[in-house]
């Protein structure tokens, strides 16, 4: 590295965020860039460690360790320090089709496994990544690169989330004619409608989509394969098909009172809000408004946090977030050593905004919802909870036990369920005759081996959350790229795709 002692000399700096009190007044992105000089010093903090786990992309203790797309992190950190931004962008694009997305919404498992992070704040990898790609767009270094020649082969991709877009970009670069089918009215999948605009502004998504269209990728919207168009039609019209439909079946909470009005799945809330925001800046009223409502979000994670930030911007009356798990520790536990993902207490943007408005962190830990309570008109007005103790598993099989005497009622006009997802919907797969891999409960996924991605139907592949289950955007990009490689190998007999 150009500055071997940089990690000793410079403190960690990341993108500055507008204060919660200001940013809740709009739907704009809340982070602001660092100047190039500060970014260079952040690149200098990469410490020439000799054991860079940051780009490994392994699974340890059930979580990602390092970057699943194997970004060449030490290389472009050093290039930024030496003010060689164009070369840094070339390194970044070797492994990542969409650094403008991961630089904004990835939880950065690379930073969790940064060697410097053993004793000090880790290198600001995510901040540097975003800066590189934005510099690339500003300087005009990112422009359409259509393939020099076409192969005559055609590929249909079902789903336009990060896995589908990554597969499309790679296969188009290989010279195949690629058509991406999306059931929504806009391309982008969860990038467009699953992630709120304050985390990922939609003109950033559209900028990349326009680039891909200029490179030759064809997009078809408002077309759900298996319903609007028979899946067998794809087998007749295309040489290969890749299913990248995501994991869209939400986990429910079947307790007394679940049928009351005012209880919604989180993605129903987030999708409608972003669509209305894009269509009319929320003037059409075609969304679930949290204004003046007592809002309770059940479930944590990114989706639950996004519900918090959206509800605050609507002007909710109160805001509470239930998590059944215990509060994480402030520092790594002994059972959670580096380079595992650090399972520690974090304050995300929605938590900070809730605290700024209501004077407290909205989260309640080790709490279970046991009943929804309705009014005379069939609407939810409250819910009942009980505290749980994870130290004493229930004899009937639950990993926790309920604490007697801790029942409580909470006022609630709106309840959002952010409890994760059970896998993909199956119409297209069933029509194609794809084998469904069953999991516990109602969980299921398309059956295709990781690294090969080929289903039991030879020219049909599967990648992303529909194959591996609900996961990170970087895993979706990883699978989309690798599925494109295997699809290209199937079509051509050999492949040069990474």
CA distance 362 to 489: 50
In the predicted model, residues of the chain with pLDDT beneath 50 are none
Element spanning 20, H or E:
helix 20-23
| Fold match, 6-139 / 154-249+422-492 | no
> Tens of pLDDT along 110-155?
999 999 999 999 999 999 999 999 999 999 999 999 999 999 999 9
Q: For position 32, what pLDDT does the model report? A: 87
Backbone angles phi, psi at 236, to 5 degrees: -75, -35
Give every CB contact of residue 35 below 8 A, 6+ residues apart in sequence: none
CA distance 476 to 463: 7
Query: What SS3 class is residue 386?
Result: strand
Q: Would you say 286 and 309 are in contact if contact means Cβ atoms under 8 Å apart?
A: no
Residue with tokens 């168009």: 229
Tell me how many degrees the CA angle 276-107-186 measures, rounded to the nearest 5: 25
Backbone angles phi, psi at 409, to 5 degrees: -105, 140
Q: For position 48, what pLDDT does the model report? A: 84
Global confidence as pTM = 0.96
Element spanning 64, H or E:
strand 63-65
Element spanning 460, H or E:
strand 460-462
Domain 154-249+422-492 homologous superfamily, CATH: FAD/NAD(P)-binding domain (3.50.50.60)
Domain ranges of the chain: 6-139, 154-249+422-492, 263-417
Domain 6-139 homologous superfamily, CATH: Alpha-helical ferredoxin (1.10.1060.10)
> Tens of pLDDT along 18-68?
999 999 999 999 988 889 999 999 999 998 898 999 999 999 998 889 999
Give whole-number Cα distances, 184 to 181, 221, 287, 421, in Å.
Answer: 9, 6, 16, 19
Give whole-number Cα distances, 263 to 322, 383, 409, in Å.
Answer: 14, 11, 16
Q: What is 263-417's CATH number?
A: 3.50.50.60
CA distance 165 to 318: 38
């Amino acid at each position: 590295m150009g500055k071997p002692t940089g990690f000793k000399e410079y403190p960690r700096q990341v993108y500055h965020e507008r204060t919660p009190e200001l940013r809740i007044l709009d739907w704009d992105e809340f982070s602001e860039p660092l100047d190039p000089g500060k970014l260079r010093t952040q690149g200098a903090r990469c410490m020439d460690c000799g054991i860079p786990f940051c780009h490994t992309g392994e699974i340890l203790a059930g979580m990602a360790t390092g970057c699943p797309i194997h970004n060449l992190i030490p290389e472009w950190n050093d290039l930024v320090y030496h003010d060689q931004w164009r070369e840094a962008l070339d390194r970044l694009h070797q492994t990542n089709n969409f650094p403008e997305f991961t630089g904004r919404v990835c939880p950065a498992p690379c930073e969790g496994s940064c060697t410097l992070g053993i004793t000090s704040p880790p290198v600001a990898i995510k901040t540097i990544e975003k800066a590189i790609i934005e510099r690339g767009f500003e300087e005009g270094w990112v422009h359409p690169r259509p393939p020099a020649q076409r192969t005559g082969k055609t590929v249909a991709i079902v789903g336009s989330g990060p896995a589908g877009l990554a597969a499309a970009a790679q296969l188009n670069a290989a010279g195949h004619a690629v058509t991406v089918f999306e059931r929504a009215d806009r391309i982008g999948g969860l990038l467009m409608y699953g992630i709120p605009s304050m985390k990922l502004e939609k003109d950033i998504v559209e900028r990349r989509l326009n680039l891909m269209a200029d490179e030759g990728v064809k997009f078809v919207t408002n077309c759900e394969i298996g319903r609007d168009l028979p899946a067998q039609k794809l087998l007749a019209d295309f040489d290969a098909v890749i299913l990248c439909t995501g994991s869209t079946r939400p986990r429910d909470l079947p307790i007394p009172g679940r049928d009351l009005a005012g209880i919604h799945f989180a993605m129903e809330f987030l999708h409608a809000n972003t669509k209305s925001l894009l269509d009319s800046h929320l003037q059409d009223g075609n969304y679930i408004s949290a204004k003046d409502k007592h809002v309770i979000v059940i479930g944590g994670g990114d989706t639950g946090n996004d519900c918090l930030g959206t509800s605050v911007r609507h002007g909710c009356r109160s805001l509470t977030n239930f998590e059944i798990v215990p509060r994480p520790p402030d520092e790594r536990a002994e059972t959670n050593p580096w380079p595992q993902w650090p399972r520690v207490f974090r304050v995300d943007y929605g938590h900070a905004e809730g605290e700024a408005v209501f004077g407290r962190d909205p989260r309640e830990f080790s709490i279970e919802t046991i009943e929804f309570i309705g009014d005379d008109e069939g609407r939810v007005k409250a819910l009942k909870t009980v505290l749980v103790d994870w130290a004493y598993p229930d004899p009937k099989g639950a990993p926790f036990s309920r604490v007697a005497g801790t029942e409580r009622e909470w006022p609630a006009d709106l309840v959002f369920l952010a409890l994760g997802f059970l896998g993909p919907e199956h119409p297209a797969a069933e029509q194609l005759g794809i084998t469904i891999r069953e999991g516990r409960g109602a969980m299921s996924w398309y059956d295709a081996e990781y690294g090969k991605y080929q289903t039991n139907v030879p020219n049909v592949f599967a990648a992303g959350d529909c194959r591996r289950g609900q996961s990170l955007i970087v895993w979706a990009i990883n699978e989309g790229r690798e599925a494109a490689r295997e699809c290209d190998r199937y079509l051509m007999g050999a492949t040069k795709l990474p």
